[in-house]
């Protein structure tokens, strides 16, 4: 039976897969008709499986969702008393930080050579790769400071809680964070590095105001990956799963392995949050050198994380549970109880959404409709072409895609300032990360606005992109 065609359409953009087989709850999905038609059957199978885990009380898919490992990328799963390791995946607390650059506008960054110089200056201070070969101006950290970061995240480096989704998540004081040697050996060498894959630092310009922003997108690096890998194998053993099915593992929050995973998961999240804020300092210095301007952090948020929260379920009841956002972003609107006494209490917190290195990004604020989506929005535009497929299919078009990046022209702000080309640290545009492999970000965002889940406050486009090169 096709699960895709078993769904019911509730509104123009809200679909539901009714409980079937082992599912414990209905699965709610938010797609335009076009996005729905392009979904894969395998993704619907994965959300059925996600809704079948022990303890599940809510399951949702965002408009950028696609098939992933274990559960879909772009899904939210809420559980009572259980933790699904695939719900944060291998890159625990992968996320985004935005900086705003007061006084810097499109006209100041229109010169392509100046943007190339900015890239070179950043790369003197931030490792855009594995992080073993640290640039000469990159800061060094002691093992003592690294221990503080694992336990206290951004607080350990003096960052205000107002600038973070979570300044840090508690780690049980009795937890031995030296348990996973392969993870621990990555901590100090990789602090302040971006990593590979789809991670990046990007200068962007606001379409409407012409203001300049800088986005940092990265996660918990080797520490998070090795932590997740260790517990996937241990969880599989505990649940009696074959090694090749380790990504289906789950844990009870009150069992010894569950407690250990939760502590280590949280330490990886703390590492990721601090890592993004450490990168800020290198970017700020590069801005001062090239453009004689400083930047200020606007907000930082994760999109691969398990958190304990209170949410409103589809039947209207409120539930305190573990909220797994795998490729999804937390979206608390104004007045949400967990924003009480924060600077975002009356507006809701910003939701930071990267798109592609060609089509840009957005900053959203949640609306009342976010209750229907598990207080969550998308984490990007979503892939419609896998990495291997992209390299095979797009290789003959490499020169054309390079030219698109080099020659694209966009106008910004009321003065209609023209900027040509997107500067890059890549000699050739990475085919598995180019704009052609991602869904239309505006189509994705349109679903959220139509359902009252979130509104677009800023639409931004890239003018300089630094990809992590492993």
Backbone Cα Rg of the chain: 21
**Phi, psi at 201, each rounded to 5°:** -120, 135
Residue 377 has, within 13 A of its CA and on its CB side, a CA count of: 35
DSSP state, 349?
A: -
* CA–CA separation, 122 and 126 (whole Å): 6
Q: Is 360 left (phi over 0), alpha (psi -120 to 50) or beta?
A: left
Outline where 124-209 has alpha helix (H).
143-152, 181-184, 187-190
- Catalytic: 336? no
48-70: buried (b, 16+ CB within 10 Å) or exposed (e) per residue? bbbbbbebbbbbbbbbbbbbbeb
How many residues are given for the chain?
470
| Contact present, 320 and 370 (Cβ < 8 Å) | no
**Phi, psi at 119, each rounded to 5°:** -60, -45
Longest dimension (CA), the chain: 63
Q: Which of 66, 108, 303, 379 is catalytic?
A: 379
Cα-Cα end-to-end distance for the chain: 42
Residue of 339, 331, 327 lying closest to 366 (CA atoms) = 331
Pairing of strands 14-17, 56-66: unpaired
Catalytic residues: 379
């Amino acid at each position: 039976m096709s699960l895709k065609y078993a769904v019911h359409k509730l509104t123009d953009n809200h679909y539901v897969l009714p409980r079937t087989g082992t599912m414990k709850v209905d699965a709610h999905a938010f797609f335009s008709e076009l996005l729905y038609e392009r979904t894969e059957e395998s993704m619907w199978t994965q959300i059925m499986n996600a809704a079948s885990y022990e303890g599940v009380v809510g399951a949702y898919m965002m408009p950028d969702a696609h098939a992933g490992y274990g559960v879909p990328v772009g899904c939210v799963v809420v559980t009572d008393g259980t933790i699904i390791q695939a719900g944060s995946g291998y890159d625990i607390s992968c996320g985004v930080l935005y900086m705003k650059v007061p006084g810097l506008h499109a006209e100041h960054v229109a010169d392509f050579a100046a943007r190339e110089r900015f890239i070179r200056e950043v790369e003197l201070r931030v490792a855009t790769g594995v992080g073993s070969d640290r640039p000469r101006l990159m800061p060094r950290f002691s093992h003592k400071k690294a221990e503080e970061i694992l336990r206290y995240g951004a607080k350990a480096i003096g960052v205000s809680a107002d600038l973070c989704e979570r300044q840090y998540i508690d780690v049980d004081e009795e937890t031995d964070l030296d348990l996973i040697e392969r993870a621990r050996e990555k901590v100090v060498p990789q602090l302040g590095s971006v990593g590979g894959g789809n991670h990046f630092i990007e200068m962007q310009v606001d379409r409407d105001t012409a203001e300049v922003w800088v986005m940092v997108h990265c996660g918990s690096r080797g520490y998070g990956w090795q932590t997740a890998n260790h517990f996937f194998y241990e969880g599989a053993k505990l649940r009696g799963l074959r090694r090749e099915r380790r990504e289906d593992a789950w844990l009870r929050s009150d069992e010894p392995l569950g407690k250990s995973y939760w502590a280590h998961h949280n330490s990886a999240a703390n590492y990721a949050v601090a890592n993004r804020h450490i990168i800020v300092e290198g970017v700020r210095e590069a801005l001062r050198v090239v453009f004689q301007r400083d930047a200020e952090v606007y907000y930082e948020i994760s999109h691969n994380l398990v958190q304990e929260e209170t949410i409103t379920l589809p039947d209207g009841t409120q539930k305190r549970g573990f909220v797994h956002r795998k490729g999804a972003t937390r979206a608390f609107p104004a007045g949400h109880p967990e924003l009480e006494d924060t600077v975002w209490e009356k507006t809701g917190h910003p939701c930071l959404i990267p798109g592609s290195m060609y089509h840009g990004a957005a900053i959203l604020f949640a609306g009342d409709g976010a209750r229907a989506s598990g207080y969550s929005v998308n984490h990007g535009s979503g892939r419609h072409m896998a990495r291997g497929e992209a390299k095979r299919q797009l290789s003959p078009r490499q020169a054309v895609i390079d030219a698109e990046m080099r020659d694209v022209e966009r106008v910004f702000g009321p003065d209609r300032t023209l900027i040509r080309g997107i500067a890059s640290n890549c000699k050739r545009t990475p085919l598995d990360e180019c704009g052609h492999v991602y869904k239309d970000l505006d189509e994705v965002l349109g679903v959220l606005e139509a359902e009252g889940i979130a509104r677009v406050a800023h639409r931004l486009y890239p003018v300089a992109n630094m990809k992590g090169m492993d």
